[in-house]
Amino acid sequence: MDRIRIRGGNTLNGTIHISGAKNAALPLMIASLLTDETLTLHRVPRLADVRLLQRILQNHGVDITIAGKRAGQNGHDGETMRISAKTIADTTAPYELVSKMRASFWVLAPLLARCGEARVSLPGGCAIGTRPVDLHILAMEKLGVQISIDGGYVVAKAPKGFTGGHINFPKVSVGATHAALMGAVTAKGDTLIENAAREPEITDVAECLVKMGAKIDGIGSATIRIAGVPRLHGAEHSVIADRIEAGTYAMAAAMTGGTVTLAGARLDTLDEVMNIMRTSGVDIEAANDGLKIKRNGAGLSAIKVDTEPYPGFPTDLQAQLMALTTRAKGTSIIRETIFENRFMHVQELARFGADIQLHGDTAEIRGVERLTGAQVMATDLRASVSLVIAALAADGETTLHRVYHLDRGFETLEDKLKACGADIERLSGH
């Protein structure tokens, strides 16, 4: 099993190219099931989760080819993927695949749209909380689908297709909003979605669906109106820049000092993150090709933040922000309002010498003068990269175990950090 070794203390200087967003690439790949024509996606990140979803879609009979590099294309531009679901061979998504990645549950709506039936395994628990699928099922039922649960599988039937409906989500859900969109675009009649999630990745998917022939109003807002069309066609689309990756490297730069340009990062998707970082004492300015991050000479200041659905501070950057605050002057307060188990990185950060107290859904972080390298273990995707951030600023050497979590969501992380001066390497084997 691979490990990552980091010798801390180096400032980061240079340019990091931001990859396409994992949280947009996965639902975009799933949207290919909605048409029998080819969907071409550019800037698909090379990630373990993307590879797994490829296998899941191929299990349904989808043909996927990875195109060669275009002229002038660099490694950080991701891959061009041509996805053709001309014929769907199987409408069952088995437990052994869905259990490995929750996003694969989202095949439910497009399989129903194309075939009138689907049998999709319940995804089960998750390391960062229960994350139930009840809102997905609510959305499907509001669109006229008959749902039953049988042996751990959602069995869904819509023999005459979806019918338009009114979906008012009792709470904001990214996954359920994706499901509602994918169900409504080919429904008979109009659909109104209220209290929809507003994440930029949902906007990206909706804009791709429009290119495929969908009629959607209110993209990017909490109220979305869809006029159903009989069928969708193929399209070409480039995946949005990954705001979580951009925020992560911004915090790494702020933690170590130095100046880093985040090429391709979009400030309009990071407003609240940048506001919090500026409060902490980080200088951020728009650059021609992205964002420039540098820490001012005064060091880091304590902050107070709650995680919230977009446009609030994202839960996917909570662990990284906590790593940053371990060296801030004063006491920082971070409240996690989205997932109930998303503080598993706290005990690992403590191994560096961080001073963190937990009070239910709230972490109290007292800044310390120095962190010391340690043997640490990744517990989930975002937690694992918070340990990298701490290690970059720690005295001495850190070894991070279970790095397969990192590979799920960060493309060529070691290469990107090494190019900016980090002393980091991947060690293979035991």
SS3 for 83-150 is EECCCCCCCEECHHHHCCCHHHHHHHHHHHHHHCEEEEECCCCCCCCCCCCHHHHHHHHHCCCEEEEE
| CA distance readout (Å), 109 to 10, 56, 101, 125, 243 | 48, 15, 17, 21, 26
d(CA 280, CA 285) in angstroms, rounded, equals 15
Helix (H) or strand (E) holding 261: strand 259-263
Angle between helices 318-325 and 271-280 (to 10 degrees): 10
pLDDT tens digits along 251-283: 999 999 989 999 999 999 999 999 999 999 999
pLDDT tens digits along 138-178: 999 999 999 999 988 999 999 999 999 999 999 999 999 99
DSSP assignment letter at 407 = H
Which residues contact residue 360 at a Cβ distance below 8 angstroms, ignoring those fewer than 6 apart?
none
Report residue 420: phi and psi, to 5°. -105, 10
pLDDT given at position 298: 77
Tell me the catalytic residues.
126
d(CA 384, CA 395) in angstroms, rounded, equals 19
pLDDT given at position 380: 85
Of the CATH numbers 3.30.1490.270, 3.40.50.300, 3.40.50.150, 3.65.10.10, which one belongs to the domain with range 3-18+241-427? 3.65.10.10
Helix (H) or strand (E) holding 201: helix 200-211
pLDDT given at position 125: 44
pLDDT given at position 51: 95
The CATH number of 22-238 is: 3.65.10.10
Stretches where the chain sits below pLDDT 50 are 125-130
Contact 375, 399 (CB under 8 A): yes
Structure tokens at 141: 């039922």
Pairing of strands 117-121, 92-93: parallel
Whole-number CA gyration radius for the chain: 22
Pairing of strands 153-157, 117-121: antiparallel
Number of helices (H), then strands (E), belonging to the chain: the values are 14, 24
pLDDT given at position 129: 44
pLDDT given at position 126: 42
User: Reduced to 3 states, what is the DSSP secondary structure of residue 173?
Assistant: coil
d(CA 274, CA 135) in angstroms, rounded, equals 31
- Are domains 3-18+241-427 and 22-238 of this chain identical in fold? yes
- Which parts of 343-410 are beta strand (E)? 355-359, 362-366, 375-377, 397-401
pLDDT given at position 70: 59
Domain extents for the chain? 3-18+241-427, 22-238
